[in-house]
Chains A and B, each alone.
Chain A
Amino acid sequence: MTEFKEDVSIVLGGAAGQGIQTVEGILTYALKRSGYHVYANKEYMSRVRGGINTTEIRVSSRRVRAFVKRIDILVPFKQGVLSWVSDRLSKETVVLGERENVEEEFLGRVNLVEVPLTKLALETGSQLYINTTAAGLIVGLFHGDFGAVEEYIRKRFGSKGENVVNKNIEAAKKGYELGVKLCEEGTIRVEVGRDEKVREEILLSGTEAVGIGALAGGMNFLSFYPMSPSTGVSTFAAQKAEEFGIIVEQVEDEISAINMALGAWFAGARAMVSTSGGGFALMSEALSLAGMAENPIVIHLAQRPGPATGLPTRTMQGDLNLVLYAGHGDFPRIILAPGSMEEAFYLTAEAFNLADKYQVPVIILTDQYFVDTYYNLPRPDLGRVRFEKYIVEAKPGYRRYELTEDGISPRAVPGYGEEVVIANGNEHDEWGDITEEAELTREMQEKRAIRKLETIRKNAPLPRLIGSENARYLVVSWGSTLHAVEEAIEKLGRDDVAFLHFSWVYPLNPETKRFFEGKTVIVVENNVTGQFADLLKKELGVDVHHRVLKYDGRPFSVEEVFDALKGVVE
């Protein structure tokens, strides 16, 4: 008998097109409805059919939000899955499935519990139902709420007709009964506590958190060119366009996407573009225009490994330097990197106020791991979302680029007021007309690149410290590694280790320096050189003593962070 307690990691693997996503959908929905905390994340190959895709689902009695390497239960839908995840298997791993899907070499090494998924699916009428049967099986192991499974199937397959719905429910039921039986006969035992509060919570993915955050921030225009892994945000916005009465346009290239969004902001819209590193590279010309013209823009950049096409469907935090330095000439920008769904929601909403106020590019850095992750969380509080509008009326005498102390000039939009608004990508005078005058050039450069940047810098929020201010070790993360680091530190259980997380990445408030004083600094980041560690040195003069880096296109697991930190502090 194999027993799992409190926190179970389930991995399902199969070919693209075999319905792994459907299983993931049913499981997370039904288990969350049953009162379990759930977390899900997928990894997939850059192909539409075939290959091997897997999804990890954690089911727990407490809140879980990070990827673990460990696999407790593995459900393979085809040969090759075990080899693909072989470094994640242990003697305790239970493989639930059919013998033909387990490679010869693993037969003696894993804990195989044979379940006749194909036979059960065929009894329902078609092999196609194998994924629904498997989903039912897992829910059965948890004695989950079968009503929730039915509900999900009705929602998901409702449009395909009553027959498809009923067949899927029947298939799931067969799996469910088998799952319950496996527990009753003592083959597998799962003991995970339920938390009634979970039922009232929401399930939200990184993609959705950014998308709905943008809508809460008043986004009413989005232009994009599809690129993995950023496309989900654009798809989300397009699906909501009618309901919210917004403009979402798929354009000819990334160059057009950002320029169109700049035009929309010039006319007063709240516009966003969503892209990935390669697309952003094409946008850097227009980014520079935004800098010179002081045209607000919000950019969501979902990172994937580069250079060039890199690994299109995998993850890395490798584009920090790109967004820090993109564009020619000096101009300020704001870089945000949410680590949790809550941060993604509130920060994306706030990005529009920041762009409007400071008239600079605001870049939201996520990555493939983050956008494809989801878990249950309490519903965000809309009372915390502010809508701040900084548009002024163009009255006679209006000067778009008025020289001001804090570097922020009043921004009017065409059609509001009787005077005109002139914006310019050339160096300009206060009215917006071209100038080549030396003194004025100097003043305008200082206004944008020094005074405005300083205003932003001193108003930048401080990072979040978890743990004691007097700890000996300070573990630093930014963006999507938040939860893996958090859980690893928790597991470490040492009160001399504190954790500092940055979701506001640039520019850094000078006061941030105090968190580092007298500490051994360990930076954890998902790239090959430690781009954020370098930024800390450059911005704050902070010395980073240890860099914990991962750059194989995969996210950090809790175990990997734990092992690395243990190596440093012991």
Chain B
Amino acid sequence: MNLPTGREAFEPRRPTSKDVAWCPGCGNFGIRNILISALAELGLKPSEVAIISGIGQAAKMPHYINANGYHTLHGRAIPIATGVKAASPELTVIAEGGDGDMYAEGGNHLLHAIRRNPDITVLIHDNQIYGLTKGQASPTTMVGMKTPTQPWGVFEEPFNPIALAIAMNASFVARTFMGYFRESVEIIKKAIQHKGLAIVDILHPCVSFNKVNTYAWYREHTYWMDDHDPHDREAAFKRALEEDPLPLGIFYVNEKPTFEESVPAYRVDKRPLWQREPKLDLVEKFFEDKKA
């Protein structure tokens, strides 16, 4: 049997994977298209890609794309993706989730993934609201927005993932708005190709629960950085602090050794862990040494 190639290869063919649970008009459709294009244009095959997601609407992605996938727990996509990549470095590993998934429940894992620097791509579907649980504030909801659970209006300072990542000297930091298809494909391709942890904050509207940050709002309140050098950390940090309009593009690129390069497991043996066998000769040697 010949499996399809190109964009077609990433279209799911399983019986229930066409039953998409996103609302009509949801930004997640656009992100799905962008991701499929990026994977196809990079010439990848579905069996070479693993998408690890958390919980939430964004996290349903593995069911709507034909690639290896693991739909896991709220906030835990990053450590799981780290384990997948560490065990099988040949895979292209993507951790995917929403703003609640990555910045609230999984915030600690994000911080430490930046320190650990596994060669994975973290895509955050940032719609500044909780969609699946019906409209509560998320860590990126703007101050003043009233929600069913913040009826007095949100007063917490919104999370600034870009500034945070640059402050922690992350390896690759970018922001895009999914309404810009071609630009977003290019950014995600670069993020996947980047060696090290790549964080892409993807702005997208929630048509059901966020009536403030709409398609039109994102177009009006964002701009592309044309004259920015992503290797300049200070400049990147300055840009990251801009609030309105929000800059889009690659803020910061910092080449450094990855987790998989740093562990001793691949220094001599390059095979993924599943191809390996116990080293009983070394166990025998251990016992021999214990005799003395």
A-side interface residues toward B, CB under 8 Å? Answer: 151, 200-204, 208, 212, 215-218, 220-221, 223, 240-249, 251-253, 255-257, 259-271, 285-286, 289, 293, 349, 379-380, 382, 385, 387, 391, 394, 396, 413-426, 429, 431-435
Size of the chain B interface, CB-CB below 8 angstroms: 68
| B:249-288 near A, CB below 8 Å | 259, 263-269, 272-280, 282-284, 286-287
Q: Which of A240, A247, A385, A423 contacts B280 (CB 8 A)?
A: A385
Q: Which of A256, A394, A419 contacts B79 (CB 8 A)?
A: A256
Known: A204-B290, A220-B276, A385-B280. A259 touches B69 (CB 8 A): no
Known: A268-B272, A420-B66, A431-B15. A414 touches B291 (CB 8 A): no
Q: Is the CB of A266 within 8 A of B290?
A: no
**Chain B residues closer than 8 Å to A256, beta-carbon distance:** 76, 79, 108-109, 112
| B:11-26 near A, CB below 8 Å | 14-17, 21
Docked complex Cα distance between A421 and B116 (Å): 26
**Chain A residues closer than 8 Å to B86, beta-carbon distance:** 221, 247, 249, 260, 263-264, 269
Q: Which segment, of B87-95, B180-188, B223-231, faces chain A?
A: B87-95
Give B35 Cβ to nearest chain A Cβ, in Å.
15
Q: Is the CB of B83 within 8 A of A259?
A: yes
Q: Which of A200, A414, A423 contacts B71 (CB 8 A)?
A: A423
Known: A419-B47, A420-B67, A429-B16. A267 touches B278 (CB 8 A): no
Number of inter-chain CB pairs below 8 Å: 234
Q: Which of B45, B62, B82 contacts A260 (CB 8 A)?
A: B82
Docked complex Cα distance between A396 and B108 (Å): 38
**Chain B residues closer than 8 Å to A244, beta-carbon distance:** 279, 282
Docked complex Cα distance between A292 and B268 (Å): 36
Cβ of B111 under 8 Å from chain A: yes
Identify 14 new A-B residue pairs, CB closer than 8 A, beyond the known A264-B273, A387-B277, A434-B60.
A203-B290, A216-B280, A242-B264, A252-B111, A256-B109, A260-B86, A263-B80, A263-B83, A385-B283, A414-B47, A414-B50, A422-B69, A423-B70, A425-B73
Docked complex Cα distance between A8 and B195 (Å): 61
Q: Is the CB of B88 within 8 A of A415?
A: yes
Cβ of B1 under 8 Å from chain A: yes
A-B contacts, 11 listed (Cβ < 8 Å): A202-B291, A212-B283, A252-B109, A256-B112, A267-B50, A267-B272, A387-B278, A396-B1, A420-B69, A434-B63, A434-B71
Docked complex Cα distance between A429 and B91 (Å): 25
Docked complex Cα distance between A269 and B89 (Å): 12
**Chain B residues closer than 8 Å to A200, beta-carbon distance:** 291
Q: Is the CB of A426 within 8 A of B71?
A: yes
Give A376 Cβ to nearest chain B Cβ, in Å.
10
Docked complex Cα distance between A293 and B55 (Å): 14
